[in-house]
Structure 1
Amino acid sequence: MFKRLREEIRCVFERDPAARNTFEVITTYPGFHAILWHRLSHRLWNLGAKWLARVISTLSRWLTGIEIHPGARIGQRFFIDHGMGVVIGETAEIGNDCTLYHGVTLGGTSWRKGKRHPTLGNNVVVGAGAKVLGPVHIGNGARIGSNSVVVKNVPVNTTVIGVPGHMVQSKDQYGKAKHPAITKHIEFDAYGTPQDAPDPIERTIHGLTKHIQRLDERIEQITAEIQHLGGELPKASLPNLKTSELSINNNNEEEQERQVGEDKSAVAK
């Protein structure tokens, strides 16, 4: 019992640089309090004292703002940072060394009894405000980005972002691209989203744009060759892009900068 308690306290220091000492963690960390209450209520739930387990769970929610159903199964060294608004459903299963931030929901998508909540593997990080819904499986080492909505299984060591959640570059790929000395540091990112994670939608649009540009160049080469050989081509041209529409964002930014400059001048006067 005391060994597990020490592990719970130690994992707080490992994942929260704001933690200063053990007394502070024990007395002021709602995530730590919530997991202690859950350990007790879960044991009572398994012993058949379900009403008492629900009472303890409700008391814990009042005191911490974290709602964990007594039936949920949670592994060792589980850490909830900040914690307010976290909801973990009855049939949810969480592996070892997982981290949840505030506003996370491990919820169900059906009113039917049985397995209806997510299963998280080991070393999973779920960012603030993320929703993992249904009996999906989140692989070991996966990361769910802030405010993402996940309704499908997530492979091992994969980062998911967006609504609906879509996968981006895995940590294995990060490890191959970066020096091993810094790979360890990028495995954990605040709020579950790496700063340099590529957006697959942006990457796809960029790829399509480059592909269209190369097609235009190839068509121009073919057209020039046909004309050089004396062939005739229909006189047709592509519609021109309106550069004014493309510069709307730039104009807005310039207007905002101009307004800020005027405000500063007024304050100075």
Structure 2
Amino acid sequence: MSVFFHTLRCDAARLSQRKPDEIGVIHLLMKLVNPRFLPVFLIRLAAAVWRHTLFKPFGLLLTWLNLLLFGVECTPRCQIGPGLMLPHTSGTVIGAVSIGTNATIFQGVTLGAREADLGFTAETRPEVGDNVIIGAGAKVLGGIKLGNGSQIGANAVVIENVPENGVAVGIPAKVVKVLDNV
């Protein structure tokens, strides 16, 4: 359970622009009324509950609640590192295999398979590295990888791997530059 709270503290810290060890229980409780934090909390809670066979239905229920309240559909199967930030949530679909630490995902983003994959086949879904920023409306589709520190432009359609610190824009997205070590 301590991993769960540590992860929540990291999520709240990014939103508060503080260090995780500065985030206490009271601060976490106050964040639960924040529309930028509550969807992340529901994602975390759904994933934690879903991992226990007996409680899987409750994990799915929390996933649906998040979709109804905030427009965020996130599979509880996605492994998401600490520090997730969703500045705006409407229309966000997270069907990736994994998302690293300190990812920022804007509204209208889709991370998922290229074709309908209701069985969640890991090979057909993207993997997102650490410190990745995905702009509003971007679509990241297929069994591809977004390298650490990569940035995806708004409305880009990414169907190929993006290298570490790569900046990808366009339809289909192309890497237009690789940033110096950030």
Q: Under TM normalisation by the shorter chain, which class is it?
A: 0.7 to 0.9
**2:32 counterpart of 1:26:** yes
Structure 2: gaps of 5 or more residues: 19-26
Residue 152 of structure 1: how far off its partner (Å): 0.6
Matches within 5 A, 1:132-143: 132-143=140-151
Rounded to whole Å, the distance in 1 between the matches of 2:90 and 2:41 is 16
TM-score after normalising by structure 1: 0.57
Q: Secondary structure at the match of 2:76?
A: coil
Deviations 1:207-262 (A, max 9, x none): xxxxxxxxxxxxxxxxxxxxxxxxxxxxxxxxxxxxxxxxxxxxxxxxxxxxxxxx
Aligned-pair identity in percent equals 34
1:11 to 14, 17, 21: 14
- Deviant stretches of 4+, over 6 Å: none
Is 1:164 matched with 2:164? no
Question: Which of 81, 87, 96 is matched with 2:87 structurally?
Answer: 81
Report if aligned partners of 1:92, 1:106 keep a CA contact under 8 Å in 2.
Answer: no
Amino acid at match of 2:125: H
- Per residue, is there more helix in 1 or in 2? 1
Q: Does 1:129 align with 2:137?
A: yes
CA distance in structure 2 between the partners assigned to 1:54 and 1:157 by the alignment: 34
Aligned twin of 1:56:
62
Show structure 1 runs of 5+ residues with no match.
16-21, 176-186, 188-269
Q: How far 1:25 sits from its partner (Å)?
A: 4.1
Higher relative CO (Cα under 8 Å, sequence separation at least 6) belongs to 2
Rounded to whole Å, the distance in 2 between the matches of 1:70 and 1:160 is 27
Task: Return the alpha-carbon distance in structure 2 between the equivalents of residues 52 and 28 of structure 1.
Answer: 23
Q: Secondary structure at the match of 1:159?
A: strand
CA displacement 1:128-175 (0-9 Å, x = unmatched): 000000111000000000000000111111000000001112111xx7
Larger Rg: 1
Q: Distance in 1 between matches of 2:30 and 2:91?
A: 22
The letter of the residue matching 1:128 is: A
Q: Is the Cα–Cα contact under 8 Å of residues 125 and 142 in structure 2 kept in the other structure?
A: yes
> Is 1:46 aligned to 2:51, yes or no?
yes
Distance 1:24 1:43 in 2: 21
Question: Measured at CA, do residues 65 and 111 of structure 1 come closer, stay the same or move farther in structure 2, by a change above 3 Å?
Answer: closer
1:151 aligns with 2:156: no
Query: Within 2, Cα distance between the matches of 1:5 and 1:72?
Result: 16
Q: Distance in 2 between matches of 1:25 and 1:62?
A: 20
Deviation of residue 44 (structure 1)? 2.0
Please tell me the residue identity of whatever aligns with 1:8: D
Query: In structure 2, what is the Cα distance between the partners aligned to 1:165 and 1:153?
Result: 10
More strand by share: 2
Partner amino acid for 1:130? A
Residues 122 and 85 of structure 1, relative CA distance in 2, 3 Å threshold: same
